[in-house]
Amino acid sequence: MSRNIDNLRDIVHDLKTPITSIKGFVELLLQSPQKPEVTKEFYNIILDESHKLLNMINEILYSCKNQDINNINNSQEYNLNIQIGKYVKELTPLARKKNIDININSNSSDIYVSIPEDKLSRLLTNIIENAIKYNREHGKVFIDINQEQDMVFVKIRDTGIGIPEEELDKIFNKYYRSSIVENDISFEGSGLGLAIAHDIVTDYNGTISVNSKLNEYTEFVISFPASQINQIQ
Ligand SMILES: Nc1ncnc2c1ncn2[C@@H]1O[C@H](COP(=O)(O)OP(=O)(O)O)[C@@H](O)[C@H]1O
Ligand SMILES: [Mg+2]
């Protein structure tokens, strides 16, 4: 904690230098008229110092963002099997409406990730909900949860309508809905779920990829660094 305060003091102190310089040159320009070439030189110094200031602020913002993510990352671990079990249970009424069977498989009961629960829920509920929504009557959803070395993989595969191959690279774009569903009122949606999922995955050092065949299947694979909690217990 005290190290953070010391860092903050150093950073704020460094910001004083360009601001003092800018202030000084503006005061000089205001106080006494200068020769045109001197005025130009002062303006150039002010511009340079402003750039420096902006770069420093950008660096600070960037490191604050990383620090926030690290802090959150260290906050709590969640057992992925238990969490996914909960999300599937919540989605059961939706699955029942279409008589969809959901299978969950895992290679270990001790798989943990360090992602806040609200983010984990939003990410996985979105993908599992899609697997139900864009499925056929009496279709299936297979969820595989596996840990391999220090990585965790969640594979969500359905037997649904699929996504045209040429649209796969746009599927994570905000508001994008595939040409199969966009004009079909039985598939309502906003096109935001996958964009949010993608943001969450990248914020927590994960990856997400998609594979699909029209009218056969869609499969999302999500990976995250495994949390080390299972090695402590
Ligand atoms: N499992 C899936 N099977 C087929 N298409 C899918 C699947 N998941 C997503 N899609 C396609 O990707 C689009 C974007 O998904 P999403 O961002 O969750 O938005 P929404 O579900 O609100 O339309 C969907 O509209 C649909 O066209
Ligand atoms: Mg969706």
Tell how far the Cα of 158 is from the centroid of ligand 2, in angstroms.
14
Q: Do domains 2-73 and 78-232 have the same CATH topology?
A: no
pLDDT digits (tens, 9 = 90+) for 221-230: 999 999 976 4
Per the CB < 8 A criterion, the answer to whether 134 and 218 are in contact is: yes
Tell how far the Cα of 209 is from the centroid of ligand 1, in angstroms.
13
Tell how far the Cα of 120 is from the centroid of ligand 2, in angstroms.
15
> What's the confidence (pLDDT) of residue 65?
67
* Closest listed residue to residue 115, CA positions, set 155, 88, 152: 152
Q: Quick one: CA torsion of 189, 191, 196, 198, rounded to 10 degrees?
A: 130
Per the CB < 8 A criterion, the answer to whether 172 and 191 are in contact is: no
Percent of the chain at pLDDT exceeding 70: 89
Instruction: Look at phi and psi of residue 55 and say left if phi exceeds 0, alpha if psi is from -120 to 50, else beta.
Output: alpha
Q: With cut-offs at 50, 70 and 90, classify the pLDDT of residue 167.
A: very high
Q: With cut-offs at 50, 70 and 90, classify the pLDDT of residue 2.
A: very low
* Closest listed residue to residue 194, CA positions, set 178, 182, 183, 180: 178
Which atom from ligand 1 is nearest to the alpha carbon of 176? 14
> What's the confidence (pLDDT) of residue 176?
95
Phi, psi of 111 (to 5 degrees): -110, 125
> What's the confidence (pLDDT) of residue 68?
62
Whose alpha carbon is nearest atom 25 of ligand 1? 177
> What's the confidence (pLDDT) of residue 14?
81
pLDDT at 9 over 90: no
Whose alpha carbon is nearest atom 1 of ligand 1? 131
Task: Tell me the pairing of strands 217-225 and 151-158.
Answer: antiparallel
Identify any residues that bridge with 155 across adjacent strands, giving them in sequence order: 144, 221
Please state whether the predicted TM-score (pTM) of the whole model is above 0.75: no
pLDDT digits (tens, 9 = 90+) for 129-153: 999 999 999 999 999 999 999 999 9
pLDDT at 231 over 50: no
pLDDT digits (tens, 9 = 90+) for 74-128: 568 999 999 999 999 999 999 999 999 999 999 999 999 999 999 999 999 999 9
pLDDT digits (tens, 9 = 90+) for 173-190: 999 999 999 988 888 888
Which atom from ligand 1 is nearest to the alpha carbon of 160? 3
pLDDT digits (tens, 9 = 90+) for 21-62: 899 899 989 998 889 999 999 999 999 889 888 888 877 777
Tell how far the Cα of 16 is from the centroid of ligand 1, in angstroms.
50
- Rounded mean pLDDT of 53-72? 71
Tell how far the Cα of 127 is from the centroid of ligand 1, in angstroms.
8
Assigned CATH topology for domain 78-232: Heat Shock Protein 90 (3.30.565)
DSSP the chain: -HHHHHHHHHHHHHHHHHHHHHHHHHHHHHHS---HHHHHHHHHHHHHHHHHHHHHHHHHHHHHHHHHHHHHHTT--EEHHHHHHHHHHHHHHHHHHTT-EEEEEES-S--EE-S-HHHHHHHHHHHHHHHHHTS-TT-EEEEEEEEETTEEEEEEEE-S----GGGGGGTTSTT---TTTTT-TTS---S-HHHHHHHHHHHTT-EEEEEEETTTEEEEEEEEEPPTHHHH-
Class for domain 2-73, per CATH?
A: mainly alpha
For residue 200 the two structure tokens come to: 């969450």
Identify any residues that bridge with 211 across adjacent strands, giving them in sequence order: 219
Pocket residue to mutate for ligand 1, from 100, 130, 175, 221, most atoms within 8 A of Cβ: 130
- Structural domain spans, the chain: 2-73, 78-232
> What's the confidence (pLDDT) of residue 71?
57
pLDDT at 154 over 60: yes
